[in-house]
Amino acid sequence: MCLSIPVRIVTIEGGFATVSFGENTYRASLQLLEGMKPGDYVLLHAGFAIQKLDRQEAEETLRLIDEMQDLSDGKSGSDQ
C-alpha cells in the first residue's frame, strides 16, 4: 500500500511531471515536493512524487557495507 517506486523526472509542466521507470512513463503530481527538475530521481506513490532520492546517500550506504568486506578480508589476511 505504501509501495513507492523510484522514477526519473523527464519533463515538468504545470505542477505535473512525466516520469519514467523502465520503458514506462507516467504523469506524476509534483504538488508535494519543492524544487524538482528534469533528471531528478523521486519516489512515486499513488500518483505523487513524495520524496527526492539522494544518490550520494545511496552510495555512502553501499560503501559502508563494502567496507565490512574489506575489514573482514583484512582480518583474515593478518590471521594467516
Partner 1 sequence: MDISKEFRERGRVDILLRQIRQEATEKYIFMEVCGGHTTAIHSYGIPGLLPGSINLISGPGCPVCVTSESFLDHAIALSAMPGILVATFGDLLRVPGGGTSLEKEKAAGASIIVVYSINEALDLAAKNKDKMVVFLAIGFETTAPGTAAGVLDAGKRGLANFFILSAHKIMPPAMRAVVEGGTNVNGFICPGHVSAITGSGIYGFLPDDFGIGCVISGFEPVDILQSVLMLIRQVNRKDPGVEVQYTRAVRPEGNPKAMNIMKQVFKVSDQWWRGFGTIPGSGLQLKPEYEKSDAGKVFPAPPQRQPVESLCMCGSILRGTHTPADCPLFGTGCTPADPAGACMVSAEGACHAFHKYTMSL
**Which positions touch partner 1 (CB under 8 A)?**
1-4, 6, 8, 29, 31-34, 41, 43, 45-48, 50-51, 53-55, 57-58, 60-62, 65-66, 68-69, 72
Min. distance of Cβ 69 from partner 1 in angstroms? Answer: 5
Cβ proximity to partner 1: between 11 and 60 the closer is: 60
Is-contact 43 53, C-beta < 8 A? yes
Min. distance of Cβ 56 from partner 1 in angstroms? Answer: 8
Angle at the Cα of 21 from the Cα atoms of 24 and 27, rounded to 5 degrees: 65
Cβ proximity to partner 1: between 57 and 79 the closer is: 57
CB-CB neighbours of 7 under 10 Å: 23
Min. distance of Cβ 12 from partner 1 in angstroms? Answer: 16
